[in-house]
Chain A
Amino acid sequence: MYILEVDNLLKRFGGLAAVNNVSFKVKRGEILALIGPNGAGKTTCFNMIAGAMPLTEGRVLFNGRNVTGHKPYDLNAHGMARTFQVVKPLAKLTVFDNLMVACLSKSRNIKEARAKAGKVMARTRLDDLADHEAGLLSIGNLKRLEVARALATEPELLLMDEPMGGLTPPEVDQAIELIRDINAQGVSIVLIEHIMKAVTAVADAIVVLHNGQIIATGAPSSVMNDERVIKAYLGDGYVASR
């Protein structure tokens, strides 16, 4: 039933516990949002789950299998993909070739990968930019390329780290639509995002981190009205706009 189970995650940098005793579960087909102020430990959590950073303590189960400490490529092979907060395009390659790299990890040959890359480009509306050098794209298009590359690896679970950071309001609306579409295809999602409009629009459940610890968890309606969350993250202005 759970695609991802995070159990007592701890990350210490010297004497500082950047992530402290964090546990949560993601149901298959669910969108779970991980929110909190800057420095709360959200990306550190992602990095540990995705195998990009070693854990100090804790354990990560993916599809019921203990994958603690597994390498990113191994997790990807088993169906977990991620996007990066600071975009990481293969800058000198075209958009199409960026997707080819991703598609080839799950394809038998170049022909099959080409066909897949074409489909993913159409799905993420990148087809007009196929021949553009990735390093020269706008931030909006780079964020879409991040998502497209992750999708091209055919994940069951997608970890999205601030996919809407730096986007214009119309681009945010498109990104929300894209996330819903991806989820509708059966992909479970863990989303880090600061744009509350987007979080409330797509999330089935929310986990709030503050100073490396979980301060609230539950359905969006209850979490957004939690006084601790308002005080630590959303602020009084958010109360006024509810």
Chain B
Amino acid sequence: MKALVTTLLVALALAVLVPIVADLHIYSVVITVLIWIMFGQSWNLLGGYTGQISFGHAMFLGIGAYTSMLLVNAMNLDMALTLLIGGLLAGVLSLGIGFLIFRLKGPYFALCTLAFAEIIHIVARNWKGLTNGGEGILLAKRPTFLGIQIFSKAEYFYLALFLTAAICLFCLYLMRSKTGYSFIAIREDQESAEAMGLNSTLIKSKALFFSAFLAGVAGGFYGLYNKFIDPEMTFTVHMSAEMIFVTVIGGMGTIAGPVLGSAILISLQEYLKSVAFLQAYSSLYLIVYGLLIMLVVVYLPGGVVEGLKKIRALGRKGG
């Protein structure tokens, strides 16, 4: 109940405050943070809660992005429908992949997800009839969501906020259900979980489906918001890695983790991009960004959430 109220209050506060202070740049940053919260929650379901590390989650994001973009351009379908279809397609693809690779464990599973993502990346680059290859696809229509036209930054902000809150609440609900308990049991000890009556293959498939579905939905929004997609901004390892970063930095296996991780990392990226010294050298900010991530992983393996818990515990002791 506390988490539900907190999520709703934060969403409400953002909905009221951001439009008051935001210019176009701030809107862009906030929307980017919200997009990465969605991606992070998606990866977190599989990697953080179920313990199945995927290095290729961008493939689900890309499927969602291309599905939504193509459906809006070709049929002018409502975004509510295109996001849903994109999510379902990503989910169905995940079931096929899961069937093939869930017998693998640990690094072998992770590497296979990477391999599948790369296969889909290559297909997307070369299937020009569908994806327009490396030239990408431009958004050609003004999309609607439940009949409301979405075009300005403010409109995209409210939709992003709605989708992010819905995804966070969905994850909260899921992780407090029978299914959520089974995800965590598999993460903690698969043999033990099976001895308690849990079918590990079925449970991992469920986790992968939900995770891919959310990545597909978020990917659909990401593509339409950018008004352009190509294989490099959707299917690449960089996108998969970023999903892992926002979750690991924030705190794996927690709802707050991807929220904090995204807010911190996207803000940090923006700040580093604005530092004059770093601007002089293209992409130097990425090296600084990478070093900072390494420091957090080494000194705070449980992420920011764990750090906050430690501070709180110290506060209690001190008090």
The reply to whether the CB of A167 lies closer than 8 angstroms to some CB of chain B is no
Residues of B near A74 (CB, < 8 A) are 199
Residues of A near B188 (CB, < 8 A) are 89-93
Verify A73–B178 contact, CB threshold 8 A: no
Within 8 A of A (CB), among B171-207: 176-178, 181-182, 184-185, 188-189, 191-200
CB distance from A118 to the nearest CB of B (A): 16
Verify B196–A84 contact, CB threshold 8 A: no
Best-surrounded residue of A73, A102, A110, A153 (most CB of chain B within 10 A) = A73
Residues of B near A84 (CB, < 8 A) are 191-192, 195
Count contacts on A: residues with CB < 8 A to the other chain: 32
- Among the 9-residue stretches A10-18, A75-83, A120-128, A194-202, the one with 4 or more Cβ atoms under 8 Å from chain B is A75-83
Partner of A88, one of B176, B181, B189: B189
Residues of A near B189 (CB, < 8 A) are 88-91
Give Cα A104–Cα B200 distance, bound, in whole angstroms: 15
Partner of A90, one of B177, B192, B194: B192
The reply to whether the CB of A149 lies closer than 8 angstroms to some CB of chain B is yes
Residues of B near A72 (CB, < 8 A) are 191, 194-195
Residues of A near B191 (CB, < 8 A) are 52, 72, 84, 88
The reply to whether the CB of A97 lies closer than 8 angstroms to some CB of chain B is yes
Partner of B197, one of A76, A91, A97: A76
CB distance from A133 to the nearest CB of B (A): 11
Residues of B near A175 (CB, < 8 A) are none
Q: Chain A residues in contact with chain B, CB under 8 A?
A: 50, 52, 71-74, 76-77, 81-82, 84, 88-93, 97, 100-102, 104-107, 109-110, 113, 149-150, 152-153
Q: Chain B residues in contact with chain A, CB under 8 A?
A: 176-178, 181-182, 184-185, 188-189, 191-200
- Nearest first, the 6 closest Cβ-Cβ pairs linking A and B are A105-B197, A90-B188, A76-B197, A88-B192, A72-B194, A101-B185
